[in-house]
Amino acid sequence: MSSRASTLRLVGGRPCLDLVNTVSWRGDVSRLEEHLTGNPECLVWCRRAGVVSSDEERALAALDVRPPLLSLRQAVTDHLADIRHPDLAALQPFVDDALRHSELVQDHGRTGWQVTGVDADMPARRIALDLLDLLLDPPGPVGRCADPACGWVYVDTSRGHRRRWCSSADCGNRERVRRHAARS
């Protein structure tokens, strides 16, 4: 099966949550889809998610960025996305590593951390810094799609934090069709 990394919808609202969503149908093992199947797919996804530039994508092509991305994805899935309150102790090693390889910079009047150096861990470190930003200044709670088979996550910035679906056009529409069919 081919990867959809180049067309995968980015609905998480943050790269760290979109990384979790690089596995489709986490709640249904018979339909489970891995989208980061190899280094090229990882790099295409990283560029689409805004984690690396086109030039960095080319520079990273000879390196294997997949293992650090998968390790971070598993940690964010287990210790943020699939639980009610984040397990900060489990996430801290990823943030610590990212900070050790970053420098404090000012960009457009905003001070923040920026990963230095181009190596196989750079994309995962950048996503770990995004995770740190999400934990320190959340724009809303982390939500999980109401379709238990889906498993995708997102930042719920909706009014009253009542968002139910990763995408109203996908999972939400399937549920509306299912309810309509049940009434008919």
Report the CATH number that the domain containing residue 40 is assigned in CATH: 1.10.3300.10
Residue 6 lies in a domain: no
pTM for the predicted model, two decimal places? 0.91
pLDDT recorded at residue 170: 77
Q: Which residues pair with residue 115 across a beta bridge? A: 102
Residue 140 lies in a domain: yes
Residue 3 lies in a domain: no
Rounded CA Rg of the chain: 17
Spatial distance between the Cα atoms of 27 and 38, rounded to a whole number of angstroms:
22
pLDDT recorded at residue 1: 52
Residue 123 lies in a domain: yes
Spatial distance between the Cα atoms of 69 and 140, rounded to a whole number of angstroms:
24
At 79-93, the pLDDT tens digits run: 999 888 999 999 999
Inter-CA distances, 137 with 50, 60, 131, 164, Å:
19, 30, 10, 22
Work out the number of other CB atoms within 10 angstroms of the CB of residue 86. 17
Residue position matching structure tokens 């056009």: 169
Tally of structural domains, the chain: 1
Q: What is the pLDDT along the chain (184 residues), one digit of tens a residue?
A: 567 899 999 999 999 999 999 999 999 999 999 999 999 999 999 999 999 999 999 999 999 999 999 999 999 999 999 888 999 999 999 999 999 999 999 989 999 999 989 999 999 999 999 999 999 999 999 999 999 999 999 999 999 999 999 987 778 677 776 766 777 7
Residue 86 lies in a domain: yes
pLDDT recorded at residue 174: 73
Query: Which domain does 142 fall in, by range?
Result: 15-183
Residue 2 lies in a domain: no
Inter-CA distances, 67 with 38, 52, 72, 133, 153, Å:
10, 17, 9, 23, 21
